[in-house]
Structure formats: C-alpha cells, structure tokens
C-alpha cells in the first residue's frame, strides 16, 4: 500500500517507490502542496520541464470512509502562475486505491511529438502506452474508444483538445462511476494544459485483480469512528438528504433570495422573478426526476450521499450527469440565460472539450459586458462556444485563455477574477466573507477554498475576515481527506481525526486535524510567495471596491494570523 509511481515523459521511465513516511499524514491537496514544496521550482514555466503533474488520493483512500477516494491533480497553474490543486470525484481514485497507489508524479516534457497514455494494468503494473491514435479526440469520443479497447470497468482521467492546444482553462475529466462518462472535472487552474504539455492524453486504470487492503493500525478504532460518522450522515439534519434528492443546483433558490447569485456579470442585481421561475429548484427537480428517473446516483463507488443527477432534454436524450450549481449559476443567470437545456448543453460541451465551466460562464458574461454579443442571446452563445471548440478564431482562442486575459484583451474593466482565475457562483457584494476567500486563497477565486455561506449577517463586514480564516482552515483539512459534502455532513469534524488515528496511528484530535489545514495553507502561501506573489495580489478587482465592497485588502491580511 502507499505506492508512488514516477513517470519521466522524456526518457519514458516508470519507477515505483514507497510513499515517504513523512508524507503519510497528507492527502489530496496537502500531498500536492508537500510535493510541490519539496520538488518543484516556484519560478518554473508551468508548461516546461521543471513543472510536475501530481495525481494523488486522500489520507484515507482505500478505507471504508464514504467519499475518501476523491482524486486530486496538482501543478503550477498556467492560469494563475501559482500553486494549484483541483479535486474530482468519479471512479479513478477508487481504482488507484485498489492498486495500493497513493500518487503518480509526471515529470519533464517529451523530446518528441509522441502522445501517450499512462496505463495501470489489472495486476497493478504501470506503463506508458502510445496514444497518437487518440489525438484530436474530445473526452466523450475518447472514453468511448478506451472502453472499447480496455473494457467498461476502467477509470479514465483525460484531456480533450483544449488540453492538447494548451488552453489555460483546460481541465482533466474523470469518468463518473454511475454513467461511465467523463462528467467529473478537475476543472480549475488549467491543469489539463500541463498534462498536454507532457503529451499525456489520459490515465487509464483497470480494475485490480485483487484489491489492496488498507494497512490499519487499529481497525476497530477506525470502524467505531466511521460508524459514528455514518449515523450523523444519515441524520435528518445532516444536509445529505437534500443533496441526494436534488444535488447542488437547488442552491440557486437560496443564493437568488439572498442576492448573492451572480447576475449579468456580478452586477449585484437580482435575477428577474419570471426568469428564475424557469430554472428554479422546482423546475430542476421536475426535469431530473421525469419519467421515473432515479433521484440520486453516486459519482464514486461507495458514496452514501449520491448527489449526482442525470439530465435529459425534452426528447429524453441524456445531456450530462455532472451539472452542478456553479455551472448552472455562471452559465445561466450570470449571462442572463434562463434556459435549462442550454445550460446543460454548455456543461456537456465544456466537459467534452475539457475546459472549466466556471471560467466559460464568467467569460461569456464578459463578452456580453463588452457588447460583443447581446445579454442572454442563446444562438450567439452557441456560436461563441463553437468558436472555442474549433479554436480557429481569435475570440474562440481567447475564451481558452480564461476570463482575466479575455477581459484584458477586450478592455473590460468589470472582469471578475483574482490571481487570474474567474470567480465562482457567489457574488461577494452580499456574501462578504467569500470575497475575503476569493482574494486571499492561494488558489485564486475559488469557493471550495473556504465558502462562508451559512447562518449570519453576510452584508456586514464585521467578523468576515475571521469567518473566512476559519472556513479556509477547515476546507484545507477537508481537502486532505474527502468530498466537501461528506465532510460538512458530520456534526463534529473530530470524528475524522479519530478515523485517521485508527488508520495510521498517532494522537489525532480535532485540533491536529485543523493543524493539518493550517500546514497545507502555509505551504501553499509560501510556495506562491516564492513564485512572485505578494500582498498586492490578495485583493478583489478594483471595481468591487468602487461598488461598495468595504473589506479592504490590508484588513484581509488578518486571515493569515494563525
């Protein structure tokens, strides 16, 4: 258990080693931060030979903890120029854990133009396989061909032509466990372009002949804590039930009511009632449960929450199984669009091409802000997306560069991005704590880095910096372990510390778990500092301050007083 594979794309060597002892108490985001700190020059070219692509699982991957098999991808980001970790569900992490593989580190760049797959065979051997036959394919066609060649039981992490072209918003798409389609996105930061720079088209993982057993130090202790957690997860007040019934899209009702739903390029307006009625949670639930369709599916094996939903159009044709709130909000109301089918089409097109839907939603709104296409014009949106997919026009290629660079090229002042990364689906004007997270997180404007949504007054600046600090620490700890939905469904995160103690040994409690989050943030922040980031980068775009956002950049620095 805990094997690490190093793959050199220049020499073609594949070396196996054991995970360092000091690395065992890190997983996912923390493990990415540790490897990047120890091995990657912060000043390197993101698309060059010094950058490394890190693919890894969580601390408790391979155990019975639900959602513990989430997968992380990390590298220096071509989009932000800083450290980046993007995590994803699907079946790839589960299969890697079944082989006892904790991490794959992809190094260097090829000296030729040959493309390759990383293939994990059923017996656990890892090899590089020629992949020139797959070049030019987008993710749906690629996965179909890989299923035809290797069978239906594989997991695939792949790039589409966006990654091949080096689009700065290129994602890596993981296969969904239930539908076997590439709808799970390690989306943020352009890490698909890093894979493309190393001429890696996909990671293919076969089902292990014999599944590796996790080497528990005290399995009884782990099982006792896991049982306590499952009871909390199934409790009526855990929040897991709502996620199972409707996924994340119904969050739109709440964000619209609170005035934090992005509308017309984060304008601070409310979405018109007649438009909201067409895409609210009631309409969403009607669509995803029509004709007796199952209400919730697991995107990864063993998930007890099962928040994934299959979306079909009016003809009953499957469009996607990975449509989430962020895409729904940013490609919908943020662009003044109230057509569910179009939003689902955008999601499908982005997954297929392999790009971040949040960047695309924000970029479409910036194009509308620039007057290039009218607000809410559905056919114009389809045309712009076509140009991005084909990559033959200046505007299409600019979309692939990300919202920040697009806005700069078009001369748009109101461009919602921090550290080069587009904002997520929460307008910080009325959710001020998340504005602090957007500005100060080493990851850029990322909601999963510390979402402050919850009970309380979010319009008053008082206490928001502390709230962001607590959320960032907690989420950094979560991102070493599992899916955020599973983590936040626990009444007490200390239960996960008990599980780590049972799995790995050692004196773990809630405080040591939070310390893990702090260590992760400190490593990331130090790495970014070495890459050239300063306090001047920890701020929202200037127009937010001109539009009455009143937590100043110097106040935000208090986030890092832990």
* Backbone CA torsion sign across 293, 298, 303, 307: negative
Greatest pairwise CA separation for the chain in angstroms: 63
Q: What is the pLDDT of residue 562?
A: 87
* SS3 readout for 56-103: EECCCCCCCCCCCCCEEEEEECCCCCCEEEEEECCCHHHHHHHCCEEE
pLDDT 10s digits, 448-465: 999 999 999 999 999 999
Residue 294: pLDDT band with limits 50, 70, 90: confident
In the predicted structure, residue 1 carries a pLDDT above the cut 80 = no
Task: Quickly list DSSP for 318-364.
Answer: EEES---HHHHHHTTGGGT---HHHHHHHHHHHHHHTB-HHHHHHHH
- The verdict on residue 196 lying in a domain is yes
Contacts of 120 (CB under 8 A, 6+ apart): 95, 96, 99, 101, 126, 203, 204, 205, 206
Q: What crossing angle do the helices spanning 340-353 and 281-288 adopt, rounded to 10°?
A: 70
Q: What is the pLDDT of residue 293?
A: 83
State percent of the chain over pLDDT 70. Answer: 100
Q: What crossing angle do the helices spanning 251-258 and 281-288 adopt, rounded to 10°?
A: 170
CA dihedral 433, 434, 438, 439 (to 10 degrees): -10
Residue 467: pLDDT band with limits 50, 70, 90: very high
Strands 71-76 and 53-57: antiparallel
In this structure, what are the phi and psi dihedrals at residue 508, rounded to the nearest 5 degrees? -110, 135
Q: How confident is the model over 149-169, as a mean pLDDT?
A: 98
Looking at residue 57, which CATH number applies to its domain?
3.60.9.10
Q: What is the pLDDT of residue 314?
A: 83
Domain count, the chain: 1
Would you give the DSSP letter of residue 291?
G
Selected residue with higher pLDDT from 318 and 48: 48
What is the H or E stretch that residue 225 is in?
helix 219-234
- The verdict on residue 112 lying in a domain is yes
Q: Which domain holds residue 183?
A: 3-205
pLDDT 10s digits, 84-114: 999 999 999 999 999 999 999 999 999 999 9
- The verdict on residue 521 lying in a domain is no
- The verdict on residue 137 lying in a domain is yes
Would you give the DSSP letter of residue 155?
E
* Nearest alpha-carbon partner for 379 in 326, 339, 347, 322: 339
* Sequence-ordered alpha helix ranges (H) in 125-173: 139-150, 161-165
What is the separation of C-alpha 263 from the centre of its chain, rounded to a whole number of angstroms? 22
Selected residue with higher pLDDT from 207 and 238: 207
Task: Quickly list DSSP for 400-440.
Answer: HH-HHHHHHHHT-S---EETTEE--S--TTS-HHHHHHHHH
- The verdict on residue 74 lying in a domain is yes
In the predicted structure, residue 138 carries a pLDDT above the cut 80 = yes
What rounded mean pLDDT belongs to the chain?
96
Q: What is the pLDDT of residue 397?
A: 97
Residue 233: pLDDT band with limits 50, 70, 90: very high
State percent of the chain over pLDDT 90. Answer: 95
Q: What is the pLDDT of residue 316?
A: 84
CA dihedral 236, 450, 303, 31 (to 10 degrees): -150
CB atoms closer than 10 angstroms to residue 209: 11
Q: How confident is the model over 384-413, as a mean pLDDT?
A: 98
pLDDT 10s digits, 481-537: 999 999 999 889 999 999 999 999 999 999 999 999 999 999 999 999 999 999 999
pLDDT 10s digits, 256-288: 999 999 999 999 999 999 999 999 999 999 999
- The verdict on residue 520 lying in a domain is no
- The verdict on residue 341 lying in a domain is no
* Nearest alpha-carbon partner for 4 in 159, 120, 174, 133: 120
Q: What is the pLDDT of residue 349?
A: 98
Distance from C-alpha of 486 to C-alpha of 68, rounded to nearest angstrom: 9
pLDDT 10s digits, 334-353: 999 999 999 999 999 999 99
- The verdict on residue 126 lying in a domain is yes
């Amino acid at each position: 258990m805990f094997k690490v594979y190093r793959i050199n794309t220049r020499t073609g060597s594949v070396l196996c080693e054991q995970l360092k002892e000091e690395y065992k108490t890190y997983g996912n985001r923390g493990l990415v931060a540790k490897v990047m700190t120890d091995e990657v020059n912060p000043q390197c070219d993101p698309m060059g030979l010094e950058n490394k692509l890190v693919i890894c699982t969580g601390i408790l991957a391979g155990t019975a903890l639900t959602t513990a098999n989430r997968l992380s991808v990390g590298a220096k980001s071509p989009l932000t120029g800083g450290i980046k970790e993007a995590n994803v569900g699907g079946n790839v992490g589960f299969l890697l854990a079944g082989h006892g593989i904790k991490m794959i580190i992809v190094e260097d760049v090829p000296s030729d133009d040959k493309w390759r797959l990383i293939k994990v065979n059923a017996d656990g051997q890892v090899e590089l396989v020629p992949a020139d036959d797959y070049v030019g394919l987008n993710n749906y066609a690629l996965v179909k061909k890989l299923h035809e060649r290797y069978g239906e039981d594989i997991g695939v992490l792949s790039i589409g032509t966006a990654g091949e072209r080096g689009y700065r918003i290129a994602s890596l798409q993981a296969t969904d466990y239930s539908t076997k389609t590439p709808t799970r996105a390690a989306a943020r930061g352009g890490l698909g372009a890093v894979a493309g720079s190393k001429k890696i088209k996909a990671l293919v993982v076969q089902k292990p002949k014999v599944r590796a057993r996790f080497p528990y130090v005290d399995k009884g202790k782990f099982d006792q804590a896991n049982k306590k957690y499952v009871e909390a997860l199934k409790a009526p007040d855990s929040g897991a039930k709502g996620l199972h019934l409707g996924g994340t899209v119904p969050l739109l009702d709440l964000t619209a009511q609170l005035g934090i739903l992005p509308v017309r390029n984060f304008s601070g307006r409310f979405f018109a009632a007649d438009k909201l009625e067409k895409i609210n949670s009631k309409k969403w639930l009607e669509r995803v449960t029509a004709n007796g369709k199952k209400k919730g599916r697991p995107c990864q094996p063993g998930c007890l929450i099962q928040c994934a939903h299959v979306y079909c159009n009016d003809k009953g044709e499957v469009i996607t199984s990975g449509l989430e709130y962020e895409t729904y909000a940013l490609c919908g109301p943020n662009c003044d669009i109230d057509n569910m089918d179009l939003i689902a089409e955008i999601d499908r097109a982005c997954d297929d091409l392999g790009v971040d839907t949040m960047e695309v939603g924000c970029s479409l709104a910036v194009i509308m802000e620039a007057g290039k296409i009218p607000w809410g014009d559905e056919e114009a949106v389809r045309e712009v997306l076509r140009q991005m997919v084909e990559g033959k026009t200046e505007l299409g290629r600019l979309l692939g560069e990300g919202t920040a660079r697009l806005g700069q090229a078009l001369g748009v002042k109101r461009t919602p991005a921090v550290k080069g990364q587009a904002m997520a689906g929460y307008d910080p004007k009325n959710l001020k704590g998340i504005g602090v997270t957007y500005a100060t997180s080493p990851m850029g404007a990322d909601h999963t880095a510390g979402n402050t949504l919850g009970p309380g007054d979010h319009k008053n600046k008082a206490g928001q910096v502390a709230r962001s600090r607590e959320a960032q620490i907690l989420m950094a700890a979560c991102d070493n372990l599992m899916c955020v939905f599973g983590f936040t469904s626990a009444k007490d995160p200390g239960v996960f510390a008990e599980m780590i103690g049972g799995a790995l040994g050692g004196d773990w409690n809630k405080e040591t778990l939070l310390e893990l989050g702090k260590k992760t943030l400190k490593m990331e922040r130090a790495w970014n500092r070495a890459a050239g980031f300063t306090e001047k980068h920890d701020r929202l775009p200037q127009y937010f301050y001109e539009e009455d956002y009143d937590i100043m950049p110097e106040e935000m620095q208090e986030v890092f007083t832990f």
